[in-house]
Homo-oligomer: A and B are copies of this chain.
Amino acid sequence: MNNQHQSLLDALNACIAACEWCATACLQEQDVKMMVSCISLDRDCADICALTARLVARGSVHGQHLLRECAEVCKACGDECAKHSHMQHCQECADACRRCEEACRAAI
């Protein structure tokens, strides 16, 4: 695997883990209702990044096809998480989503 692929994979894997943890942590917040959009986007973002990572790792042309959609869900999730900047899990997730969005766009 070349270096560009590895840095894309690293960004995807970091984003998956951040979204998974953010969803769990959001569910434990006192005001869960405020976190509903965040949890929903975390689910979708983690799943789409996970498929993209698998296809990129195997060198499939279909991984290439998913990069745009992956970048878009990362942007949506990152924007939502950024609204909750006082929560560490959301801030970390926003950062991971933005780095992943950039890595996807750089690979398109």
Q: Which residues of A contact B (CB under 8 A)?
A: 1, 9, 13, 16-17, 20-21, 23-24, 27-28, 32-33, 36, 39-40, 43-44, 46-48, 50-51, 53-55, 57-60, 62, 65-66, 69, 72-73
CA distance A52 to B58 in the complex (A): 19
Specify which of B33, B50, B59 is in contact with A54 (CB 8 Å cutoff): B50
Q: Cβ of B1 and Cβ of A57 under 8 Å apart?
A: no
Closest to A16 in B: B57
Copies of this chain present: 4
A77 → B minimal CB distance (Å) = 10
Name 8 A/B residue pairs within 8 A (Cβ), A-sorted: A16-B54, A16-B57, A21-B57, A24-B58, A44-B55, A48-B62, A50-B50, A69-B69
